[in-house]
Chain A
Amino acid sequence: MSARSVSRLLPRALLLLAGACAVPAALAQEVLIRNATVHTAGTRGSLDHTDVLIQGGIIRAVGTGLAAPAGASVVEANGKPLTPALFGGITDIGIEEVSGESATVDSTLKLEDQPLRPEFDVSLAYNPDSVLVPVARVDGIGFTVLGANTGGGFIAGQGGVMRLDGSADPIGPLALFIRLGAGGAELTGNSRAAQWMLLEQMVSEARGRVAVDSPHALLTPAGRATLARYLGGQGRIVVQVDRAADIRQLLRWAAREKVKIAIAGGAEAWRVAPQLAQAGVPVFVDALGNLPTSFDQLGATLENAARLHKAGVMVSFAQRDDASHNARKNRQLAGNAVANGLPWAEGLAGLTRVPAQVLGVGDRIGTIEPGKLADLVLWEGDPLDVGHYAEQVWLGGRAVPMRSRQTELRDRYLAPASAEPRAYTR
């Protein structure tokens, strides 16, 4: 392949696939993307007519008039938007295949005795071959954090940040997931007040104030060690909580115990926005959630993200429903937040830089800056607008085949019917 060979991006998925396959794997990580509108999501903001050079899977340079090294493939972007690969939200991608089939779902722990198991780590069940991975990836999703779900206790367990490049292990620290409020009350004796009582006791155990062999112990020794790490500031506790009153209690608790937290959901977070900003607590907003779905969400509004940002709160996005199979919908959340007052650049940051930083992987992904992993998406139009699609995704500099089980089903049935059954088409 010559240095000047130009693999021009073609609009059809099939042709893209053919193009991607033609690039030998070793060379695939040497790419010059030329003349893009580069939305860095970093300090340089958005740059028109800009080139991005990828070498060894890493972004080497962002600028104009960059020369293509020998052997690099060159992609003419023709001014189209280039962004960091997007955050899919808090999902069960790779730990759930079909939600209704429990044998394919590994996100929830339900143990009869000692249900409170912070040491539970869903990342260990992660399957990089899940069909959900390519489905999310072809729509520009490059990373996600695996969310443990509450089943047996309001402490759900831990999950790691996964890049959707087929790799099997999380990058960066794990996060611990906890559910507070009405959604967790069934797991705490039917009162949300008991959540603080139980948390208090678990903290006491983790801090060694309760004998390991105490008959009242809630945590296993492993659970104590795990919780102690979070109490020591390693990793972030992501708390699913919506009601303003509960968020106030949470802020008080987090300040007292000196833990790093983030809020997921946070329907009424805007009502305590200044306190969240002051405490430096980021919020994963469900930006389509404007209904009083429960009594904890009476203050739900489409302006949640905009109001939080205005008060100085770091905003990212995560869906409450349909988060895993439809992780691609996360960009619709950002777009709608923008339609309801959030600046566009903050909408993009909420899908890139902010979640990467909040989850402790901001040194590797989340922006288009030299030294970062080349996890990039070239878009056919505005990435926050569902009226446009991802043309090409690179993860670690490798052009990902723009193919999933869904596109294969599509292509099989897109072809005109013939005498031969479609089962012979692949």
Chain B
Amino acid sequence: MHRVLSVGIGLALFSIATLPTSAASRFVQDPYPSTYAPIASAPVLISNATVLTGTGVRLDNADVLLRDGRIAAIGTALAAPADAIRVDGLGKWVTPGIIDVHSHLGVYPSPGVSAHSDGNEMTAPVTANVWAEHSVWPQDPGFAAAMAGGVTSMQVLPGSANLVGGRGVTLKNVPATSYQAMKFPGAPWGLKMACGENPKRVYGGKGTAPGTRMGNVAGYRAAFIDASEYIAKNTPKQPKKKRWFSGSDQGDSAGDSGGKRDLKLDTLAGAIQGDIRVHIHCYRADEMETMLDLSKEFGFRIAAFHHGVEAYKLADRLAQEGVCGALWADWWGFKMEAFDGIQENVALVDRPANSCAIVHSDSPEGIQRLNQEAAKVIANARRAGIEIAPERAMMWLTSNAARSLGVEKQTGSLEVGKMGDVVVWNGSPFSSYALAEKVYVDGHQVYDRADVRRQPLSDFMLGQEARP
């Protein structure tokens, strides 16, 4: 949690170190809690596989045991419990479930009908009050397609039309009739912000602010100044010394004088206090530098820059600041701020010590093959003289992603005690020919390529004559 809060001229510096640190913060109370319940499964023993743990380690001829929803053991010649389901891993590769930190599944679902276009609240430049989860259509067939690509968790974000787009939600990729039943238990929310062309185009085009990049920054600052004041008003005062003439101190919410609750400021306050992770859509290196300064001005921490087509130009600073780069392998040129894209962006961001490179999708097609996106990076890096081992690249899709979302203690690597989120691949995942054969979420097999009855099908696709 980031505790330094300096909000510029006119506002006093003060410390919020006295605030309770648990999720009890009023800014992040959840009236829409997760109802996700793992499905019980017999233990599963995958044996003799090539295992990429997601922590940068490769184990050959290794076994992975899942039990009670968790990774129970990793090693060689593991003994299978009597009731275990045995999976022959010979020739297979086993990895943690893939995590996509940037998805719009459910909020921009398939089919792309106007009735389901719920990803951008394009009615004001700061809509920190909206939550992407309230737009998620759980029947989006894209969820099942992503599962077939080995994706077990994802962050669904609002779009990038706004300076502050709203809260993102982390989901477990399981079929459900409500988003709450997919909601990752205990995962912090994300806050979606956006730099550059999109906000200024959307609002400038309507003749309202922001219409320029300087307007963008003024907009972020105004919002965070409001949020800082809101925190000050909502921070319980130190009890005054009791004087013999003092009255009761039970009035005014026991020193809490925040007044009416403001959903927008709740979210921004939660971000300042570090309970909500800040994810910023930002392409250009200079704008990322500006946003890093903004984060210091208002005392929040940036979890990741998303898209970051020019992240390679400030890779060292990103690593120093502990900010992840959630990037594409090869997208570029669709707009001016994407003109400097290179195919080695992820590799260059990955290069410094303490880096946090992530391959993300922002696409219902890309999310299905993040492994192939990483394969492209490996190949292009090799062409440029940089060798990247598969066990290293796997971190881009798993543990680094989990770290940016704040779920790294629960998932994102094959370590004993973590969630049994696992993929069995037909071979190395870093290939056009790679196919996820079996996918497990919390130790339960949710997908089997060899058995169509073990592949979820959206309600929407039922009874469609054209269904493949």
Which residues of the partner chain B approach A389 to less than 8 Å between Cβ atoms? 379-380, 382-383
Chain A residues positioned under 8 Å from B344 (CB to CB)? 410, 414
For the complex formed, measure the closest distance between the CB of B167 and the CB atoms of chain A, giving whole angstroms: 26
In the complex, residue of chain A having the shortest beta-carbon distance to the beta carbon of B433: A339
Cα–Cα distance between A71 and B312 once the two chains are bound (Å): 43
Q: Give which listed residue, B339, B340, B348, contacts A414 with CB less than 8 A.
A: B348
Residues of B within 8 A of A424 (CB): none
CB distance from A258 to the nearest CB of B (A): 29
Contact of A338 among B110, B331, B433 (CB under 8 A): B433
On chain B, the residues within 8 Å of A413 by CB distance are 312-313, 342, 348
Q: Is B365 an interface residue (CB 8 A)?
A: yes
Interface string of B366-401 (1 = CB under 8 A from A): 001100100110111011110000000000000000
Distance in angstroms between the alpha carbons of A406 and B341 in the assembled complex: 7
Q: Check B468–A325 contact: CB distance below 8 A.
A: no
Tell me whether A300 and B334 are in contact in the complex, defined as CB-CB below 8 angstroms, given that A12-B385, A292-B110 are known contacts.
Answer: no
- Bound Cα distance from A104 to B2, whole angstroms: 44
Contacts of B343 in A (CB 8 A): 406, 410
Cross-chain contact B332 with A300 (CB below 8 angstroms)? no
Query: Smallest CB-CB separation from A328: which chain B residue?
Result: B330
Q: Which residues of A have CB within 8 Å of B334?
A: 98-100, 322, 325
One digit per residue, 1 when the CB lies within 8 angstroms of any chain A CB and 0 when it does not, for chain B 324-342 equals: 0000001111111001111
Interface string of A398-419 (1 = CB under 8 A from B): 0000000011011101100100
How many Å lie between the Cα of A406 and that of B376 in the bound state?
A: 15
**Judging by beta carbons under 8 Å apart, are A244 and B433 in contact?**
no
> Which residue of chain B has the shortest Cβ distance to A288 in the bound complex?
B365
Interface size on B, residues (CB 8 A): 52
* Cβ 8 A contact of B333, one of A98, A339, A386, A410: A98
Among residues of A, the one whose C-beta sits closest to the C-beta of B336 is A98
CB <8 Å contact, A289 and B365: yes
Determine if A268 and B466 form an interchain contact, defined as CB atoms under 8 angstroms apart.
yes
- For A406, list chain B residues within 8 Å (CB): 332, 341-343
Closest to A104 in B: B336
Q: Are B331 and A322 in contact (CB under 8 A)?
A: yes
CA distance A214 to B113 in the complex (A): 39
Q: Which residue in A99, A292, A385 is a CB contact (below 8 Å) of B335?
A: A99
Question: What's the minimum C-beta distance from B432 to chain A, rounded to whole angstroms?
Answer: 3
**B379 near A387: Cβ-Cβ < 8 Å:** yes
Segment 37-67 of A: residues with Cβ below 8 Å from B: none
Of A169-177, A329-337, A357-365, the one touching chain B: A329-337
The minimal Cβ–Cβ distance linking A207 to chain B, given in whole angstroms, is 35
Between A321, A339, A380, A410, the greatest number of chain B beta carbons within 10 A of the residue's beta carbon is seen for A410
Say whether A244 contacts B111, CB under 8 Å.
no
**Does A353 interact with chain B (Cβ within 8 Å)?**
no
Contact A338 B432 (CB under 8 A): yes
Instruction: Verify if B18 is at the interface (C-beta below 8 Å from A).
Output: no
Within 8 A of B (CB), among A1-32: 11-13
User: Chain A's nearest CB lies how many Å from the CB of B451?
Assistant: 17
- How far does the alpha carbon of A288 sit from the alpha carbon of B197 in the complex, in Å? 29
Chain B, residue nearest A388 (CB): B379
> A352 vs B50: C-alpha distance in the bound complex, in angstroms?
35
Residues of chain A with a CB closer than 8 A to B364's CB? 291, 293
Please indicate the chain B residues that have their CB under 8 angstroms from the CB of A324 in the complex: 333
Task: Give A129 Cβ to nearest chain B Cβ, in Å.
Answer: 15
Q: Smallest distance from the beta carbon of A20 to chain B beta carbons, Å? A: 15
B142 an interface residue at 8 Å Cβ cutoff?
yes
Judge whether B342 and A271 touch: CB under 8 Å: no
Bound Cα distance from A268 to B142, whole angstroms: 18
Binary flags per residue of B124-167, CB closer than 8 Å to A gives 1, else 0: 00000000000000000110010000000000000000000000
Cα(A324)–Cα(B383), bound, Å? 22
Q: CA–CA, A406 to B330, complex, Å?
A: 10
Contact between B378 and A299, CB atoms less than 8 A apart = no
Q: Which 5 A-B pairs have the closest CB atoms?
A: A335-B432, A100-B335, A301-B468, A299-B466, A325-B333
Binding site for B on A (CB under 8 A): 11-13, 97-101, 132, 243-244, 268, 270-271, 288-295, 297-301, 303, 321-322, 324-326, 328-329, 332, 335-336, 338-339, 380, 384-389, 406-407, 409-411, 413-414, 417
* Chain B interface (Cβ < 8 Å from any Cβ of A): 110-113, 141-142, 145, 197, 312-313, 316, 330-336, 339-344, 348, 364-365, 368-369, 372, 375-376, 378-380, 382-385, 428, 430-435, 460-461, 464, 466-468
> Besides the contacts A292-B464, A294-B113, what 15 more A-B pairs have beta carbons closer than 8 Å?
A11-B382, A98-B336, A101-B335, A293-B364, A298-B467, A299-B467, A328-B330, A332-B372, A339-B435, A385-B431, A386-B375, A387-B428, A409-B340, A410-B344, A414-B384
Would you mind naming 14 contact pairs between A and B with Cβ atoms under 8 Å apart?
A13-B384, A288-B368, A292-B141, A292-B464, A293-B112, A294-B112, A294-B113, A299-B467, A385-B375, A385-B431, A387-B428, A389-B383, A406-B343, A409-B340
